[in-house]
Chain A
Amino acid sequence: MKSINSHSLLKFLLYITLFIILVPVLILILWTFASRWPWPKLLPEVYSFRSIKEVLSPHANAFSTLFSSIFLSLTVAVLSAIVGTMTARALVLYDFVGKRVIDLLSIAPILVPGTVFAMGIHIVFIKMSLSDTLLGVIIVHLIYTLPYSINIMKDLTDSIGKEMELQAYVLGASPLKSFRFITLPLLIPGLMSSISMAYIISFSQYFITLLIGGGNVKTFSVLMVPFIAKGDRTLSSAYGLIFIVSTLLIFVLIDRVFKGLSFKTRKEEI
């Protein structure tokens, strides 16, 4: 009897948590479509698509910024997965000079807040003419996504091990070929979560993008935050909703691409 009670208490807590997570998102949707919502009304008086139309209108530049921003974050995410996989393989499968330094380096950005690093590197980037450029922003984003990518790929590489790839190598496949046909298909779930994770970290960055991009590199976050700072609820909610929906769509896309990939490699095997 007692255990049934504690079970239903936990269930109750779980539902409250889900409620607290979902309610703000629902309010965000309401604000997006509210054209009039005066005090002290609990629901909007008039609904319209005005804010979405305004955000997506050509003069707001949000639509083109959204796409260039998605492109930027996908680039960061893919690079992060590639560098993460390479670093993870070096750390898990090989012994080399400076291994502990690399291991420490791979988690170090977690212990240096983005603002501190961005202000520190800014002058260096100006001297290297990397500031105000897309490449500069990609580099600083990459530094902050890599700890997560390396961590995910390390766990997976560790669990797969080296044996299967070695076997293919012994049987005469080139190292590259044995990696491509044996290890890569096994790495797909890790690559997928690494890319999703890095994408959301990059897409959410505000401060370091603003400082290093210097207004030249506009991302969706950089465009959205001034509206939140001003307290314009309708427009900033529209930006927020587009942010969340576009991210969910990208996640679906990443999922599809990787499901397709693993299907393809399976077919090739047959």
Chain B
Amino acid sequence: MDGRRAIPHIAADSCKGCGLCLSVCPENVLAIEAAQVNLKGYFPVSVKAEENCIGCLSCALICPDVVFTIERIDDHLEGRDE
């Protein structure tokens, strides 16, 4: 069993690559890759370690461009609670 509790989805073309989400993520789930450019010409954030996401929403709360949608893995959470 890995520690994954949630899955972040990113609307990459809305991202301006500001990096605020990276600065607040406690589990180093996110990364900005210089090789990737979005439609606006920014380097968008991407998920590099999905298995580490704990679903704390810090990235979504601080994102000025509302690029995140976060899904919680319910079964896994219920399993942990037991």
Note whether A and B form a binding pair.
Answer: no
